[in-house]
A and B are shown apart, each in its own frame.
Chain A
Amino acid sequence: MSTLKEIWRKLSSSKDYRKEYVSTLLKRGTAMQIQALMKQRGWTQTKLAEMAGLKQGVISRASNPEYGNLTFNTVIDIAGGFDVAFIGRFVPFSEFARYVKNAPEELSFSMRWFDEDREPVEELDRAVDAKNVIFIKAPEKPKSAENELPSAQSEKKAPQREDRNRFSSQQEGGLADAARAGSSR
Chain B
Amino acid sequence: MGYVFQDYFTDERPPRNLIREWYGKQDARICAAFDGNIQLLEARIRQLDTDEETDLIKPLERDCAGLWEVKIDLKDKKPFRHIRPIGLWNPEVRIFIFLGAFEKSGQIKIPSDPCRDALKYKAHYEAGRGAIDEHT
Contact = CB atoms under 8 A, between A and B. Distances in A.
Interface of A: 1-3, 6, 10, 13-14, 16-21, 23-25, 27-29, 32, 36, 66-69, 100, 103-105, 107-110, 176, 178-180, 182-185
A105 B29 CA distance: 25
Interface of B: 2-3, 6, 27-29, 31-33, 35-37, 39-40, 42-44, 46-47, 73-76, 95, 131-134, 136
Contact of B37 (A18, A24, A36, A180): A24
A104 B32 contact: no
Nearest to A100: B39
Instruction: In the A-B complex, list the 8 residue pairs whose CB atoms are closest, starting with the nearest.
Output: A24-B36, A20-B32, A68-B76, A16-B28, A21-B32, A17-B28, A182-B2, A104-B43
A125 to B, nearest CB: 28
A35 to B, nearest CB: 9
Nearest to B33: A24
Contact of B44 (A16, A21, A109, A176): A109
Contacts of B36: 20-21, 23-25, 28
B32 A66 contact: no
Given A20-B36, A21-B32, A104-B42, A3 B76 contact: no
Contacts of B76: 23, 27, 66-69
A21 B27 CA distance: 13
A2 B38 CA distance: 11
A91 B106 CA distance: 38
23 contacts: A1-B3, A1-B42, A1-B134, A2-B136, A14-B28, A17-B31, A19-B32, A20-B28, A20-B29, A20-B31, A20-B33, A20-B36, A24-B33, A24-B36, A27-B76, A28-B36, A32-B44, A66-B73, A100-B39, A103-B40, A109-B43, A109-B47, A183-B133
A39 to B, nearest CB: 9
Contact of B133 (A19, A104, A105, A180): A180
Q: Which of A14, A21, A105 has the most CB of B within 10 A?
A: A21
B136 A3 contact: yes
Contacts of A20: 28-29, 31-33, 36
Contact of B40 (A13, A107, A110): A107
